């Protein structure tokens, strides 16, 4: 059996450490170890599809962004337990399936980018393939996201059910090409590299829908991933006619389990949690809309508040001012 070779180098530059890694060989067990490490300590398996088995996994980048390539002649499958980086990938050859435990199941055999779920358990099965991936460090992408939302630095909740925006795909591919040139080209310089990484992050945030919200550390753990999925669902679907039971179903848990989780982590019921999300969205609209053309009643009804008296009381209790005063700012 051919011996697996792995190399890792790191060079210090004024703009940070540029890292290079490559692992290649013909041993499925070594491939499984390499891929499990690459996906944050998952439990992945590799096996030959037909004939000889070979693989190559390599990356180059810094502490903010790494560009990665995977080539595997066999089948890669198993569980990813808790991916902590934000990862987007696309197939150059072959394809595969992500299974998010009854939340969503998607296959991909095209070159369109696909997000890998962060901070939740999922399984994958990739057929023989060549794939490109980009890993974004959490603090880097979350800092870039503050350019688009008014809040402090917060975790990003992508809508993993949504496909890539087709109107942004050409801009995304251009950003990938420019980032590859800036990161991989010798002598490109740290400022050029950072500019390309920032552009890549900004385009990613246009490519897929997302929300930033203050996720408690207690539900950013492998054990609490289903609760995180349910709450992400509420954030992404707050404008839809949903109930907490829909979020529980999406996460594969009982409604009672979600009720216990929200009381433990937030001291409130899932219904109150959803109402607060909607109140927050109302406030955001009141601050952004023109008081000459928008009305409190219109915005409140858009977010499901039919009784304007109860709505105004709930709004005042949450924000310490009347909704009409917010609109007049």
Question: What local confidence, expressed as pLDDT, does residue 115 receive?
Answer: 92
pLDDT band at 242 (very low <50, low <70, confident <90, very high): very high
Average pLDDT over residues 204-232: 95
Q: Which residues face 88 on adjacent strands?
A: 115, 134
Question: What local confidence, expressed as pLDDT, does residue 294 receive?
Answer: 92
Residue whose token pair is 């992408």: 141
| Low-confidence winner among 13-22, 170-179, 270-279 (lowest mean pLDDT) | 13-22
Closest CA to 284 of 310, 315, 243: 315
pLDDT band at 329 (very low <50, low <70, confident <90, very high): confident
Return mean pLDDT, the chain.
91
Alpha-carbon separation of residue 267 from 259, 260, 270 (angstroms): 10, 9, 10
Cα 206 to the center of its chain, rounded Å: 13
pLDDT band at 184 (very low <50, low <70, confident <90, very high): confident
pLDDT band at 1 (very low <50, low <70, confident <90, very high): very low
Average pLDDT over residues 225-252: 95
In sequence order, which residues have a C-beta less than 8 Å from that of residue 209 and are 6 or more positions away?
158, 159, 162, 236
What are the pLDDT digits (tens) for 11-60?
Answer: 655 455 789 999 999 999 999 999 999 998 878 999 999 889 999 999 99
Question: What local confidence, expressed as pLDDT, does residue 11 receive?
Answer: 60
Give the separation between CA 40 and CA 114, rounded to whole angstroms.
Answer: 18
What are the pLDDT digits (tens) for 70-125?
Answer: 999 999 999 999 999 999 999 999 988 888 755 444 555 467 899 999 999 999 99
């Amino acid at each position: 059996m051919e011996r697996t070779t792995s190399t890792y180098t790191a060079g210090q530059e004024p703009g940070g450490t540029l890292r290079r890694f490559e692992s290649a060989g013909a041993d499925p067990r070594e491939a499984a170890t390499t891929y499990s490490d690459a996906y944050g300590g998952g439990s992945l398996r590799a096996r030959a599809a037909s004939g000889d088995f070979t693989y190559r996994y390599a990356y180059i980048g810094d502490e903010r962004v790494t560009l990665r390539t995977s080539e595997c002649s066999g089948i890669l499958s198993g569980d990813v337990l808790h991916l902590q980086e934000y990862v987007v990938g696309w197939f150059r050859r072959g394809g595969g399936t992500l299974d998010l435990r009854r939340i969503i199941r998607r296959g991909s055999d095209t070159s369109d980018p696909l997000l890998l779920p962060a901070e939740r358990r999922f399984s994958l099965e990739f057929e023989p393939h060549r794939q490109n991936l980009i890993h974004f460090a959490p603090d880097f992408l979350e800092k870039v996201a503050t350019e688009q939302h008014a809040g402090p630095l917060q975790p990003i909740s992508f809508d993993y059910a949504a496909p890539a925006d087709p109107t942004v795909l050409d801009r995304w591919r251009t950003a990938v090409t420019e980032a590859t040139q800036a990161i991989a080209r010798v002598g490109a310089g740290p400022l050029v590299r950072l500019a390309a990484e920032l552009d890549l992050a900004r385009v990613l945030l246009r490519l897929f829908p997302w929300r930033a919200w203050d996720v408690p550390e207690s539900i950013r753990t492998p054990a609490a991933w289903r609760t995180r999925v349910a709450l992400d669902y509420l954030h992404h679907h707050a404008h839809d006619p949903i109930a907490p039971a829909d979020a529980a179903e999406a996460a594969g848990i009982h409604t009672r389990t979600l009720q216990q989780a929200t009381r433990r982590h937030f001291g409130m019921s899932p219904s109150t949690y959803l109402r607060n999300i909607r109140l927050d969205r109302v406030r955001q609209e009141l601050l952004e809309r023109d008081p000459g053309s928008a009305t409190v009643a219109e915005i409140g009804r858009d977010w499901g508040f039919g009784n304007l008296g109860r709505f105004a009381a709930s709004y005042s209790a949450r924000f310490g001012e009347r909704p009409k005063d917010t609109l007049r700012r």
